[in-house]
Chains A and B, each alone.
Chain A
Amino acid sequence: DAGITQSPRHKVTETGTPVTLRCHQTENHRYMYWYRQDPGHGLRLIHYSYGVKDTDKGEVSDGYSVSRSKTEDFLLTLESATSSQTSVYFCAISETWGQGLGEQYFGPGTRLTVT
C-alpha cells in the first residue's frame, strides 16, 4: 500500500471553528489532492497541488484553503466550519499527470462532523 496517512481520522467540531486536516505521504509523489465524499455526490475535488507551494481549486473549493510547504505534506483548512462541510475527506496522491492522472492512491480518510 502507498504510504499515505491522514490526521485526524475522526473529528467533531462546532460551527464557526477553524479546522485543519493533514495529509502526509512518504512516496515523494508530485501531485496531491483533497476530495470530499458525500452520499449522492460521489467524490468531488476540493483542491489539488502540482508541486510545493503550487495549488489550485477544484470543483467545490468555497470555504476551503490549502497549503503545501513540503512535498510530503498537504494541509486542508476549513476557515470557519459549517454543517454543510460535514463529510468524509480523502487525500490522494499521484506520480504523473495527463493520461496517467487516473492512477491515484488514497489515504484512509477523515470523518468530519460539524455540529
Chain B
Amino acid sequence: GIQVEQSPPDLILQEGANSTLRCNFSDSVNNLQWFHQNPWGQLINLFYIPSGTKQNGRLSATTVATERYSLLYISSSQTTDSGVYFCAPRRISNFGNEKLTFGTGTRLTIIP
C-alpha cells in the first residue's frame, strides 16, 4: 500500500513563530486531507486539497501531486495550534471505495 511520511515528527515553537510541515507519499493519489488532532482526540478538517494552494486564515496548504508531497504552513502560531497534524492521501481501494491513509503525524507544541 501507499506509504505516507511526515516531517518533522516533533516540533516545539514559541508563540508567534511560523512553521512548515511536510507530507511525502509514495504513490499517486486522488486527493489529500490535512487534519489537526487536538489533545482531546478530536480530528479537525483543515484542508481538502488534491493540488495547488489553499489558504484559511493563518493556515495554508500546498499539494504538488506530480511530485507526491504536500506542505502545511502555520503562521503566527498560537497555543491552541498545539496538537498532532496528520496528512491523509486519498486513493481508490481495491474494492472501489476511496480510502484515506494517514501519515505518521507531526506533534506540534506551542510554548507561550
A binds B: no
